[in-house]
Structure 1
Amino acid sequence: MTKTSTGITRRGLLGVFAATAAIAAPTYSNAFGLLRGAGDIRMIRMYSGRTGESMDTIYWIEGEYIPEVLKEINHFMRDWRTDEKIKMDPRTIDIMAASHRLMDINEPYMLLSGYRSPATNAMLRSRSRGVAKHSLHMVGQAGDLRLKSRSVGQMARAAEACASGGVGRYSHSNFVHMDCGPVRHWGG
């Protein structure tokens, strides 16, 4: 089993995908218990209220990421303020997609923030105490997401069930931060 320095295991993420493909999990306690072989797909559904763009795509098939689709995701998750993009870490997309599947919904995520340039991060940090100086957004390892049909708590519980990165609850702003950094959680 391969384990990265961030604690994400391929087997753990595959378990989430396999479990959610097999059943519509109303609870998350058994999400990692079921592992079906290769042959699954991973997809992501998002839209951006800032750019008017939307994405509903399969980005991984039978154990392989699709490079052209990852490039589209990089463009979609760009810093909309500066139009700069970076290679997004696919583990972040995996966490977002696995969380979405755990919630058993068709509604796309609203992407509030993906990649942030250092200039954008500094500007946001000057306006809010909740923006980290060394944010994982600046290295393509985080996304801030919202759903109309699920609460911040429901979204955060789904992401936490993946046990594969950081999950921040921003209830007052109605969004959840998901990243592929160390496993941790914060907010209320």
Structure 2
Amino acid sequence: MIERRKLLGLGLGVLGASAVGPMAAFAQSKLGISDPIADLLQRQSDLPEGMPAEDLSFPAAPVAAPVSQVRPASHGPRWLKLHNIHTQEKLEAVYYEKGEYVPDAVQALDKVLRDYRTGDVYSMHPELFDTLSTLAEKTETKSHFQVISGYRSPKTNAMLHERSGQVAKRSLHMDGKAMDVYLEDVALDRLRAAALDLGRGGVGYYPVSNFVHVDVGPVRRWSGS
């Protein structure tokens, strides 16, 4: 059982096993037909990640160290608040405490960030959680991160790539190393500035589509629509 103090704001169905099957079946049924949400994501989060599309074939990511073996410098508790705009699931969790990542909380975060179309859950890179947690502190937000895109399965990415030449054949979203987010109480340009100030990974700015892409890949920056 997940301790109540670890997960304070768990949305309906985030951990319910009964919700996974229907969600996956529904999402898979959408893959072969018109998908308005997929069209939205194609316009928003499936643009080249800071470099030409032909340069986005990242090599397969090495297997990440188990969560229990990754240690940030600070041993203080770390919070993260997420809202998946597609499933409407909300989660508020202490995912790191006493020098350890909290396995149950990390698994719950992975669940919220799953590929909503296929239901596939992936182990997101812990450093990505740390980046968002630090951004929350820097911006002093009181809101959940609104998640447009988290993990993207190979099947979903291939579908989106076929639809548009702007979709990378291999994206850091597929490796659990990228998220597209915004905050309801922080101006987008301020969120971008805070992300750039961290000097970690990639930061993409999409003022028209209203999101900032953050990842734990090479340090780089770019702007889109």
Which residue of structure 2 lines up, in the alignment, with residue 132 of structure 1?
Answer: 168
Gaps of 5+ in 1: 15-37
TM-score (norm 1): 0.76
Alignment of 1:107-118 (within 5 A): 107-118=143-154
Which of 178, 185, 197 lines up with 1:161 in the alignment? 197
Matched, 1:82 2:110: no
Structure-2 separation of matches of 1:85 and 1:91: 17
Provide the secondary structure at the position in 2 that maps to 1:115.
coil
TM-score (norm 2): 0.64
- Residue 127 (structure 1) shift: 4.1
- Quick one: percent identity of the two aligned structures? 38
Which residue of structure 1 lines up, in the alignment, with residue 210 of structure 2?
Answer: 174
Residue 151 and residue 128 in structure 1: after superposition, are their counterparts in 2 closer, same or farther (change >3 A)?
A: farther
- Residue 98 (structure 1) shift: 0.7
Q: What amino acid is the match of 1:176?
A: V
Which residue of structure 2 lines up, in the alignment, with residue 150 of structure 1?
Answer: 186
RMSD: 2.1
- Residue 133 (structure 1) shift: 2.1
Structure-1 separation of matches of 2:102 and 2:148: 24
Matched, 1:59 2:95: yes
Which residue of structure 1 lines up, in the alignment, with residue 54 of structure 2?
Answer: none
Structure-2 separation of matches of 1:107 and 1:45: 7
Which of 121, 125, 128 lines up with 1:92 in the alignment? 128
Gaps of 5+ in 2: 1-61, 63-69
Provide the secondary structure at the position in 2 that maps to 1:155.
helix
Residue 139 and residue 83 in structure 1: after superposition, are their counterparts in 2 closer, same or farther (change >3 A)?
A: same
- Residue 152 (structure 1) shift: 2.2
Residue 97 and residue 130 in structure 1: after superposition, are their counterparts in 2 closer, same or farther (change >3 A)?
A: farther
Structure-1 separation of matches of 2:78 and 2:167: 30
Structure-1 separation of matches of 2:205 and 2:161: 17
Residue 181 and residue 158 in structure 1: after superposition, are their counterparts in 2 closer, same or farther (change >3 A)?
A: same
Provide the secondary structure at the position in 2 that maps to 1:146.
strand
Write the deviation string for residues 134-172 of structure 1: whole angstroms up to 9, x where unpaired.
110001011110122222211111111211111111111
Which residue of structure 1 lines up, in the alignment, with residue 10 of structure 2?
Answer: none
Q: Once structures 1 and 2 are overlaid, which stretch shifts more, 61-70 or 88-97?
A: 61-70
Provide the secondary structure at the position in 2 that maps to 1:79.
coil
- Residue 39 (structure 1) shift: 4.6
Structure-1 separation of matches of 2:81 and 2:166: 26
Structure-1 separation of matches of 2:196 and 2:165: 23
Structure-1 separation of matches of 2:192 and 2:127: 17
